[in-house]
Amino acid sequence: MIIIRYSILAVCLLTNTALLPLTGAAAYAGEVADTIRTLSGTQLIHAKITLKDLGVTNTVQLASDAANRELYVPVPASVPLVEPSFRFKSHYLRADGGRTTYTLAFDGNTVAARSPVDEEGDVNFTIGVDGAPRTSGFIRVGFGWSSAVGRFYCDDSRSIGNVLNISPESWLEYSYNPSFIHSIASAWSVMLNKTSLMVASGKLQNNSYETAWRLGVALEHAGKEVQVISFPQPGNVIDVTGINVPSSLENVPAFAALKQGGRITIRNDAEIGAILLLAPALIHPDVVVADQELAKRVASVIAAVRVEIVQADAEAAGIFDALVASKNSLISPVASKGVDLRMLGGRPVIAVAADAGRTVSGLFDELWRKTAVSKGLIVNAAGQPENAAERIPLVGISQNANTLDVVGRADWTTSFDLSSSLVKGRVPKNMDLHVAAAPGATSTSPVVSVFINDYLLGARRLTANGHPERINVKIPTYALQARNTVRVEFQRQPSSNQCREQPQGFPVAVLPDSSLSLGPAQTPHTFADLVPWLTGDAMVMVPDTWRNNALKTLPVIMHISDSVSISPVLSDFMFVGQQLDIQPQKPFLAFDVKIHDDVNTIKTEGQRISIADKTGSIFYDVSGLNNIAVI
C-alpha cells in the first residue's frame, strides 16, 4: 500500500479602445487584417536538445590512449532540418603531455578535429550539421579522444592525466517546418525526451483522469519525462518575455497586455487567445486528452480574441477564421476511441479521446507505434498477442545482433520491459546464450561474463574456435526490475608479440538463437517479488477526490506506476470513496486508499506515521513528516 500526504490604468486603456473606431478607423482599417494574414503563414518550430535532456547528467569523460563515445540525438524522422548546428562544450587536461587529439563526428563522418598543446583549456565552438532528413529519427554524434605519450609503439602509452571532459550542456539546435508532420507516427518522432501531457483543467471527469494516467504511464514506459499541464485559465501567471507584438495590434487590449513582457497574470480568455496567435510555444503540449471540456476552452479563447480583433478591423474576420481552421483544430473533441493529429497554434499535437486511454496506450508501445501512419485512427485494440511460448529470442527483443571486434574488452547489450516485452504472467527464469568467438593471437582463452542489471549471473572461458558455444545461466527474481538490461561482456588478453606487432581485435558475436526461458512468477514474499505480478492483470486505486487536483496527483501515480512497471493497457483503474474499506482480489497499487487487512501495520495521523510488524510491535513512530510515502 502507498500512502501519500501533502501536508486605474485599465480604465484609460478601455476608454482609448472605445474611442479608437471613431478617431482612428480610417488609418487603422486593414492593418490588423494584414497582420493576421501574416500570422497565417507557416512558422518554423525551433528545438534545442542538450545532452542533459538525453539523460547525460554527468560529464562525459574520455581518457586513456584512445576513447570513443557515440550518442543518439533525436530529430524529426524523415523531416528536413532548417539550419541545424551543434554547440560543442568541453574542457581538456594534458598533465602527461604527448600528442593529444579530439574529434567530433556526425553520423560517422568526422567534421572537426583539433590537437591542443596547452596543459589545459576550454573547447567551445559551434559547427553546422547536414540538414538532410534522417529516416531513423536520430543524428549520431560521435566524440573521439586519443593520447600518445610515448615516442615509440612499445613505450608505455597509459596516461591518467590526459582527459577530455565533454559538458552535458552541449546541445543540438535546429528548426523544422510543421507541414512535414503528416501523421501520428511523425508527430511522435518530433517529441523531445521532456514531454508535456495536457488536460483541460486541474479538475477532471473520471474518464479524462484515467486516460491521462494511462497515456502518462505509456509515455514514461517509452522513456519520456512527462510533465502534466492544463490549458491556461484566467488568473494563471505566464512569462511572455520575448513576445513581439506587431504595431498594428498594440491597441487591441488582449495584445496590449502582452507588450509589457515579463511574468503577467492572465486576466481573460482573449489574452490567452493572443498568446496562442503570437507565441504558441508557450501553450504547446505534445499529447492532449481531447475531451469536450478542452474543446470548449480552446474555442472560448479563440472566440474571445476574435471579438477584439474584429472590433479593431472588420476586414480581419474572414482571414482570422481561415487561420483558426488551419492552425487550431482542437476546437472540436476527438471521436470516441480515436486518436488524431491536430493543430494548436500551428503546432502539431497528438489528441486522444477521453475514452481511448487503454487502447491508445497500447498503440504507443514500440510494437505498434510506427503503424500510426495516418492523421486519424479509431483504436479498438492495440496490445500484445497472447503467446504460450516457453521461450523468447533474446536478440529479437531489440534487434541488436551484431559482431564485435575485441582487442581487450567489449560489451553487447539489450533490454526488455517486464510489462511489454514478455508474455503476460510469466517472467524469465533462465538465459540460454549462444556465442561464437574467433581464435586470437594468444593461447589465453577469452572470457565471457553475463549480467542482468549489473548482477553477475555467470561467466566462463570460451574455446574460441569459431563455432557456436552455449552458456546457460539462471535468472533470480531479485535481479529483475521493471526495466532490465542484459549485458554480455567479452574479454581477451591482447598480444603484441614482444612489441613487434600492434594488438589487433578478433571477432566475437552473440547469435540470434540466444533466448530467455520463461516460467510463472513466484508467489511474492518481498516487495521486489511483487513487481512481476504488477505487470499484468493488476489494479490501480486512487481516492475519488484526487480528480479535483489532477496537476498534482497525476504525476505521482504516473511516476510510481511506471517505476513498478504497471501496464497502462492490462491494468484496471478505480476511483475509491474515502470511507470505503477495499479488499482487492488481485495485485494492486493503492494511493491513500483504505485497504482491508487483518493486521494493520501502518497508521497515519496528520504528520505522524507509525509502522508495526505483524506482531503489533511498533518499530517506527515519527511526527512532523511531510511529502513522504510508505510502500
Average pLDDT score over residue span 95-117: 88
Evaluate whether 520 touches 425 at the Cβ level (below 8 Å). yes
The pLDDT value given to residue 387: 63
Query: Residue 274: which H helix or E strand, with range?
Result: helix 269-278
The pLDDT value given to residue 558: 94
CA distance 592 to 578: 9
Q: Pairing mode, if any, of strands 162-166 and 45-50?
A: unpaired
The pLDDT value given to residue 9: 28
140: cell is 549520431
Q: Which of the residue ranges 342-351, 413-422, 528-537 would you say has the lowest mean pLDDT?
A: 413-422
pLDDT in tens, 400-443: 556 777 777 788 888 877 765 555 667 889 999 999 999 987 78
CA distance 540 to 176: 40
pLDDT in tens, 70-84: 888 989 888 999 999
Sign, CA torsion 411/414/417/422: negative
The pLDDT value given to residue 424: 60
Is pLDDT of 316 > 50? yes
Average pLDDT score over residue span 358-378: 91
Is pLDDT of 275 > 70? yes
Average pLDDT, rounded, for the chain: 84
More confident residue, 385 or 217: 217
Is pLDDT of 236 > 90? yes
CA distance 32 to 223: 44
Query: Residue 414: which H helix or E strand, with range?
Result: strand 409-417
- Residue 32, SS3? helix
- Residue 402, SS3? coil
The pLDDT value given to residue 16: 34
CB under 8 Å to 580, separation ≥6 — which residues? Answer: 593, 594
pLDDT in tens, 13-46: 233 333 333 333 433 557 888 888 888 887 889 9
The pLDDT value given to residue 67: 78
Alpha helices (H) along 51-106: none
| pLDDT confidence band for 398 (50 / 70 / 90) | low
Q: Pick the closest to residue 528 from 563, 498, 558, 579 (CA basis).
A: 563
| pLDDT confidence band for 601 (50 / 70 / 90) | confident
Query: Residue 4: which H helix or E strand, with range?
Result: strand 3-4
For the chain, percent of residues with pLDDT exceeding 90: 45
| pLDDT confidence band for 125 (50 / 70 / 90) | very high
| pLDDT confidence band for 500 (50 / 70 / 90) | low
Sheet of 588-590, strand order = 572-576, 539-543, 588-590
The whole-model pTM stands at 0.82
445: cell is 582463452
Evaluate whether 65 touches 141 at the Cβ level (below 8 Å). no
Strand segments (E) across 7-80: 45-50, 60-62, 66-74
Residue 450 — φ and ψ, nearest 5°?
A: -120, 130
